[in-house]
């Protein structure tokens, strides 16, 4: 009988970096998106299709993640993860030699298949390998690693973007050595054997709460839409102010990523231990996001927009791990893959429709800045609703002389 293997720093790092690969989609390409728009200016529907190349993988992830999770539950995690990482490199670098906008878009669709596998399976395996407070911190670090990657890749993307819109796609090849590390250091979780001998997946039993999962997924669609606004549209907002330098725009993207890093670390080490109710966590994050969107729409300077984008990153860094952690602790081992997949599908559905929603608002309101102002007003209303719900939960719990659950539901 094989000895029980215990997950450690190596496994955590591999899985966190694997999940962070999705940040390449927006971080490394965002600064050069206006140049790509100029290159394909004569292509039909380029106004919609060029920004959609950024989020097309997310639409595919929205459609496929739940099925990937189902496959991971049925057939195992590791083999899917390793194969997807290799496929990711192939599809990610394809635009280097493609010269049709629709062909580039097609390669991005295939990339979405790989990303659906990477995000769903790596997140599921974090839940398999770790539990309790360690899992919550890793869920926060999940977003932190993606943000750190985005911070570095925004700078790299801005520098590479000075050499043309194709150059940033070379970065996708970094997934190949990661696939080798996965093959060497990861193993297929065996819940039935390991739960009695290690902390891996301890206590993750019970039925899947379908209604609660559906509620979390519905909220996650809105989170995804708000989260993707800065990565997709910040470059265009700078263009509206007359700022066209890819390097300057890349720096602003990088500072937005710094904000996300600060937000995720604040959530994992400050907010989660002290503010256990999810409704309060979500309200705080929504307030930061909404105010930053309003500020972005009102500023007229490079510095003002950059600072507002950084505050937006803090709000995004708070809200995403809050929802991820909430969802993860509701999932038993036997259904964790499909539960994570459903969550990922919802998140990336919101992300993928962001360009269509914001461009539509921009056309109806007259500018992207005005569109972001509308979005900010909606998010602030959501923050107000969260505050009202939190107050009611507190009042009811006090009246019943009981404490609310950690997720903010009634006793």
> Higher pLDDT residue, 184 or 129?
184
pLDDT, residue 154, reads 66
> Higher pLDDT residue, 408 or 2?
2
- Res 202 pLDDT > 50: no
Instruction: State the pTM of this model.
Output: 0.71
**How far apart (Å, rounded) are the C-alpha atoms in residues 364 and 384?**
26
pLDDT-based confidence at residue 411 (cuts at 50, 70, 90): very low
The most confident of the ranges 168-172, 247-251, 303-307 is 303-307
Mean pLDDT, residues 234-251 taken together: 86
Q: How far is CA 280 from CA 213, 285, 409, in A?
A: 19, 9, 12
> Higher pLDDT residue, 304 or 73?
304
- Res 286 pLDDT > 90: yes
pLDDT, residue 203, reads 46
Q: Name the CATH superfamily, with its identifier, for domain 9-399.
A: MFS general substrate transporter like domains (1.20.1250.20)
Looking at every residue in the chain, the average pLDDT score rounds to 82
pLDDT, residue 206, reads 55
Question: What's the 3-state SS for the chain?
Answer: CCCCCCCCHHHHHHHHHHHHHHHHHHHCCHHHHHHHHHHCCCCCCHHHHHHHHHHHHHHHHHHHHHHHHHHHHHHCCHHHHHHHHHHHHHHHHHHHCCCCHHHHHHHHHHHHHHHHHHHHHHHHHHHHHCCHHHHHHHHHHHHHHHHHHHHHHHHHHHHHHCCCCCHHHHHHHHHHHHHHHHHHHCCCCCHHHHCCCCCCCCCCCCCCCHHHHHHHHHHHHHHHHHHCHHHHHHHHHHHHCCCCCHHHHHHHHHHHHHHHHHHHHHHHHHHHHHCCCHHHHHHHHHHHHHHHHHHHHHCCCHHHHHHHHHHHHHHHHHHHHHHHHHHHCCCCHHHHHHHHHHHHHHHHHHHHHHHHHHHHHHHHHCCHHHHHHHHHHHHHHHHHHHHHHHHHHHHHHHHCCCCCCCCCCCC
- Res 316 pLDDT > 80: yes
Percent of the chain, pLDDT > 90? 23
pLDDT, residue 384, reads 93
- Res 301 pLDDT > 90: yes
> Higher pLDDT residue, 257 or 373?
373
Mean pLDDT, residues 370-379 taken together: 94
pLDDT-based confidence at residue 27 (cuts at 50, 70, 90): low
pLDDT, residue 408, reads 47
pLDDT, residue 164, reads 74
Percent of the chain, pLDDT > 70? 87
> Higher pLDDT residue, 181 or 18?
181
CB atoms within 10 A of CB 143: 29
- Res 380 pLDDT > 80: yes
> Higher pLDDT residue, 236 or 312?
312
Mean pLDDT, residues 44-71 taken together: 83
Mean pLDDT, residues 200-204 taken together: 45
Q: What is the pLDDT of residues 317-373, one digit of tens each?
A: 999 888 887 877 767 766 778 888 888 888 878 887 888 889 889 989 988 899 999
pLDDT, residue 191, reads 58
Q: What is the pLDDT of residues 152-194, one digit of tens each?
A: 766 777 677 677 778 888 888 888 899 999 999 998 876 554 4
pLDDT, residue 407, reads 47
pLDDT, residue 3, reads 58
Mean pLDDT, residues 124-143 taken together: 79
């Amino acid at each position: 009988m094989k000895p029980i293997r215990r997950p450690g720093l190596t496994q955590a790092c591999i899985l966190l970096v694997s999940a962070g690969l999705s940040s390449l989609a927006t971080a490394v390409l965002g600064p050069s998106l206006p140049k790509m728009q100029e290159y394909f200016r004569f292509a039909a529907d380029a106004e919609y299709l060029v920004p959609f190349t950024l989020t097309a993988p997310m639409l595919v992830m929205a459609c496929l993640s739940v099925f990937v999770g189902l496959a991971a539950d049925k057939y195992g995690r590791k083999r899917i993860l390793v194969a997807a990482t290799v496929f990711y490199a192939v599809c990610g670098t394809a635009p280097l030699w493609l010269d049709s906008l629709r062909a580039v878009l097609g390669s991005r669709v295939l990339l979405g298949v790989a990303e659906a596998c990477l995000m769903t399976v790596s997140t599921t395996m974090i839940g398999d390998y770790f539990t309790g407070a360690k899992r919550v911190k890793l869920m926060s670090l999940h977003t932190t690693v993606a943000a750190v990657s985005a911070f570095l890749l925004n700078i790299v993307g801005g520098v590479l973007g000075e050499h043309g819109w194709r150059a940033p796609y070379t970065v996708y090849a970094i997934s190949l050595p990661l696939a080798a590390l996965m093959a060497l250091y990861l193993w297929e979780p065996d819940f039935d054997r390991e739960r009695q001998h290690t902390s891996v997946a301890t206590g993750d039993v019970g039925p899947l709460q379908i209604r609660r999962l559906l509620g979390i997924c519905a909220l996650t669609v809105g989170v995804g839409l708000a989260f993707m606004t800065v990565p997709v549209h910040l470059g265009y907002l700078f263009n509206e102010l007359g700022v066209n330098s890819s390097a300057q725009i890349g720096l602003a993207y990088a500072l937005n990523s710094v904000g996300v890093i600060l937000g995720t670390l604040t959530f994992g080490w400050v907010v989660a231990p002290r503010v256990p109710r999810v409704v309060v966590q979500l309200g705080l994050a929504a307030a930061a996001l909404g105010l930053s969107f309003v500020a972005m729409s009102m500023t007229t300077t490079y510095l003002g927009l950059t600072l507002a984008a950084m505050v937006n990153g803090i709000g995004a860094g708070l809200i995403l791990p809050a929802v991820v952690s909430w969802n993860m602790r509701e999932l038993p081992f036997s259904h964790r893959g499909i539960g994570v997949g459903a969550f990922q599908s919802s998140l990336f559905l919101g992300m993928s429709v962001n360009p269509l929603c914001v461009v539509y608002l921009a056309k109806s309101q007259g500018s992207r800045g005005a569109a972001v102002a509308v979005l900010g007003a909606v998010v602030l209303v959501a923050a107000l609703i969260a505050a009202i719900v939190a107050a009611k939960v507190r009042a009811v719990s006090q009246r019943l002389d009981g404490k609310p659950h950690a997720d903010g539901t009634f006793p």
